[in-house]
Amino acid sequence: MKGGLCVAVATAGYFTDPAQAQMSCWAPQHVAAAKIRDLQSRLMVATMRCSAMGIDILPQYNSFVRNNRSTIQAANGVIKARFAQGYGGTGQVAYDRFTTALANAYGADPTNRLICDQTAASASAAAAANGDTARLLHIVESMGPTPDLPGGECRVNFAEAAQ
């Protein structure tokens, strides 16, 4: 796990993409998928940081992944399709950069017993969601700000919706 984190950190500067201007705003279903991917990244990186300190929360993280596998895979599929739409043939590269940036965002977070205990509790709560998207979104939103998305979130326009 440590090797993967080192690769993620080493590629952090590689994330900037001039083609980013091609991405339009993200609709609510795309934003939800990105938040679920963010939850996975937050928990994965915190699990690795805790492990490096000798605190084992891998069982809770593994339960989260196992119990939400189909939802996580579906969310990743939505994000990959979004990047393919926005970047065409380089969509997979843009997706890889995006997911690497998510992991990098949490790699330098502080780590101590309290944070590891909180992460274990979040992973357990996420495991209990059993694929329920609304519950997973509530958990990730309670953990703090979610990542910026290339193209941003689409604005809600109630005037157009009412017509």
In tens, the pLDDT along 72-107 reads 999 999 999 999 999 999 999 999 999 999 899 899
Residue-number span of the structural domain to which 59 is assigned: 30-144
Specify the DSSP element, H or E, that contains 77: helix 58-87
For 18-36, the pLDDT digits (tens) are 344 478 899 999 999 999 9
As a whole number of angstroms, the distance between CA 39 and CA 34 comes to 9
Neighbouring C-beta atoms of residue 61, cutoff 10 Å:
25
Question: So what's the pLDDT on residue 163?
Answer: 62
Q: Is residue 4 part of a domain?
A: no
* First-residue to last-residue Cα distance in the chain: 52
Question: So what's the pLDDT on residue 148?
Answer: 87
Q: Is residue 6 part of a domain?
A: no
Q: Is residue 13 part of a domain?
A: no
| φ, ψ (nearest 5 deg) of residue 70 | -65, -35
Predicted confidence (pLDDT) at residue 59 exceeds the cutoff of 50: yes
Both tokens assigned to 79: 């994000």
As a whole number of angstroms, the distance between CA 72 and CA 142 comes to 18
Question: So what's the pLDDT on residue 161?
Answer: 59
Predicted confidence (pLDDT) at residue 58 exceeds the cutoff of 60: yes
Question: So what's the pLDDT on residue 18?
Answer: 39
Q: Is residue 153 part of a domain?
A: no
Question: So what's the pLDDT on residue 160?
Answer: 63
**Whether 55 contacts 114, CB under 8 Å:** no
As a whole number of angstroms, the distance between CA 31 and CA 129 comes to 19
Whether the pTM exceeds 0.75: the reply is yes
* Structural domains of the chain, count: 1
Q: Is residue 70 part of a domain?
A: yes
Specify the DSSP element, H or E, that contains 39: helix 28-52
Predicted confidence (pLDDT) at residue 10 exceeds the cutoff of 90: no
